[in-house]
Structure 1
């Protein structure tokens, strides 16, 4: 029996995927046969990089498990959602006269966590989720359902990497707050009324070394009991609520 695949529109074959990319069809992820070569493969790779679309190089068995169509070493999942460039997202929020409050998901791979984070973000006034193309969940119907539709309403900014996202954020004067159990600043002592991005780390390993090095501040959520950590979506909700509280009082 085949493993159950996410409910996303599927494209197979070099020409159909190339045409979809050229026509601006929203693509969630592209799977390429590891040994695939040729000019069409080069075009697909370059277009995907230009559009910040994740590429996964996989064995033939993976592609055969995705579709029975003659795939020619290329399969793409169409996207159920719309993505925008990070700089365009920042400009859109600022032009509306709003103070940016974004979340950067650094290695969050569980679609239910992403959905729950999006729901809390929208409810607490955050305007955007920033999603690196690597080590990230594909936003399937399950993610949208978990978000109660919030993923269709919040800005989704896809970026090649966490490092590039931080470069853009810093250039725009947005403070970067990394969440960590051993963070030096309790969340309620951090100023969340100014333009801010809150970085939520991977479910198992937390935020990456790059964020630890470059964050303007490492914040923590004080806990009454000694325990490993909070679920990432619960932690995101708590930080977001504190941001909303501060902004309502300012």
Structure 2
């Protein structure tokens, strides 16, 4: 899906009680079980401590953004030593654990995967529709997706705090895991041959939504069981991704009701 002339989104600085400053403090927080949204590391820092941080962050699946000093300074926190972490307001869950719980509850899995969607307003709106339409979990990659921060939670009207969110290292591996659990994966793609109405959303399935400018990664699309399109009466570039997600999820809910 493609979108042009995207408006600038002003993101607010995280509250200081959500920040952890300093490499050692961040490592200690990770090892103690604190869930972090992401870590910002000054790009000019190269030290044994920084290398240790990278290893620990990878172990716990927390993305690290290498940024200029100005970005670190803008957090307005003292004794940061070139590194700031933002605590997560969302409790990330293991994908297999979520799938197992859905099945144990006697329900048919309906999952939503986000590939390359960076606009937090879109993510918030998608989460809101997902929660209202009965999606069991949203699956996101560690990198390449907008931060699920306070702004995203606010846009979602709190839905992000009430729906399971699984952060995975690789979406392609997540697709493999779903297939092992008997879950089909369908991709929303405007150039697909199959119309949305011809997809059976009543069976265990996951839906992938791609970014508006690049769409779904080819390697992910190839791994899917089928692609589908939303038919449009007018010949136009594309729908907004959050609007498209709402339409798709409503169709899935309608079929399942």
TM-score, structure 2 as length reference? 0.91
Work out which of the residue numbers 118, 125, 128 in structure 1 matches 2:134. Answer: 125
RMSD: 1.5
Deviation, 1:4, is 5.6
Q: Which stretch shows the higher mean deviation, 191-200 or 137-146?
A: 137-146
The answer to whether the Cα contact below 8 Å between 2:21 and 2:77 also exists between their aligned partners in 1 is no
Retained in 1: the 8 A contact 2:22–2:81? yes
Question: For 1:226, which of 219, 229, 235 is the aligned residue?
Answer: 235
Does residue 214 (structure 1) correspond to residue 223 (structure 2)? The answer is: yes
DSSP 3-state at the match of 1:126 = coil
Report the CA distance between 1:173 and its aligned residue.
1.7
Name stretches of at least 5 consecutive residues in structure 2 with no aligned partner.
Answer: 1-9
Match of 2:7 in 1: none
**Matched ranges for 1:22-101 at <5 A:** 22-101=31-110
Residues 1:247 and 2:256 are matched in the alignment? yes
Residue in 2 that maps onto 1:198: 207
The equivalent position to 2:111 in structure 1, one of 88, 94, 102, is: 102
* Higher mean C-alpha deviation, range 163-172 or range 234-243: 163-172
Q: What does residue 164 of structure 2 align with?
A: 155
**1:144 maps to which of 153, 156, 159:** 153
Please tell me whether the aligned partners of residues 112 and 138 of structure 2 are also in contact (alpha carbons under 8 angstroms): yes
CA deviation string 1:30-83 (max 9, x = no partner):
111223333332332122212221111122222222234122222111111111
Mapped to 1, the partners of 2:79 and 2:120 lie a distance apart of 29
The answer to whether structure 1 residue 7 and structure 2 residue 1 are counterparts is no
**What does residue 16 of structure 1 align with?**
25
Q: 1:208 to 1:60 in 2, by over 3 A?
A: same
- Please, which runs of 5 or more residues in structure 1 have no aligned partner? none
Give distance in 1, aligned partners of 2:92 and 2:169: 13
Partner of 1:111: 120
Return the alpha-carbon distance in structure 2 between the equivalents of residues 137 and 195 of structure 1: 27
- The answer (yes or no) to whether the contact 1:18–1:40 under 8 Å persists in 2 is no
Give the distance between the partners of 1:183 and 1:197, measured in 2 at CA: 17
Alignment coverage as a number of residue pairs: 246
**Matched residues in 1 for 2:213 and 2:13: separation?**
23
What displacement does 1:161 show? 2.2
